[in-house]
Amino acid sequence: MAQKVLDALKAAHGAAVDRTASAHTDEIAWIKRDQLLAVATWLKNDAAMLFDAPVFCTAIDWIDYRPLDRPPSEFWSEDKPRFTVAYQLRSSKHRHRIRIEIELPEADPKLPSLAGLWPAFNWQERETFDMYGIRFDGHPDLRRIYLYEEFVGYPLRKDYPKEKRQPLVRRDDLPMNPIKVAPMEHK
């Protein structure tokens, strides 16, 4: 559907594009993170692109991702970086869309913020930071958006324990002399 967007992107910023793919009428381009800002600025301002509508920003945690039915391919390998940050963009004028993905290693989950280009990404990047701990350089106000400041860790990372609770308050009126249970005698 928008293969011409991918072709134009590769023609204009061939060095920045890692690889591209098309799946289910969605066009995806993997961008190197040090050139993300240049690519995004071009996508927003170029007359043939005009991506004026930011759709979403999120992240994917690929820890222990091993598809059972597929051999190693361009989509995954043993040394695949742990995180992927995805931005979905849409152009209301040209009616095309593109998803740009940036792969980030576990040790350094950091990339330039796009909140300056599309203000709607401000809160979405805060949410991504809140849930996955991805740092967005140059974000105007990067702090937790859903969870409380006392929260430790990033709950949507796949290694966050499911049962772990971080309560803010608990009851203080529980019985002072609780039920005393005599130990059972075994015969």
Partner 1 sequence: MGVEITTTRLEDAAKWAKQSTLEKATNWGRKFSLFSYPFVTACCGMEFMSVAGPKYDLARFGAEFPRFSPRQSDLLMVVGTVTEKQGPAVKRVFDQMAEPKWVIAFGVCASTGGFYQNYHTMPGVDQVIPVDVYIPGCPPRPEQVLDALILLMDRIQSGRGHSQLRDKREQLIASASSDEG
By the criterion CB under 8 A, which residues form the site for partner 1? 146-148, 155, 160, 162-171, 173, 175, 177, 179
Residues 80/67, Cβ–Cβ less than 8 Å: no
Instruction: State the sign of the Cα–Cα–Cα–Cα dihedral 102, 105, 109, 111.
Output: negative
Query: Smaller CB distance to partner 1: residue 22 or 166?
Result: 166
Phi, psi of 8 (to 5 degrees): -65, -40
Q: How far is the CB of 179 from partner 1 (least distance, A)?
A: 5
Query: Smaller CB distance to partner 1: residue 71 or 148?
Result: 148
Give the C-alpha separation, 42 to 24, whole Å: 25
Q: How far is the CB of 180 from partner 1 (least distance, A)?
A: 8
Amino acid at site 47: A
Q: How far is the CB of 168 from partner 1 (least distance, A)?
A: 5
Q: How far is the CB of 58 from partner 1 (least distance, A)?
A: 17
Distances (CA, A) of 119 to 38, 67, 128, 163: 17, 36, 15, 35
Query: Smaller CB distance to partner 1: residue 23 or 169?
Result: 169
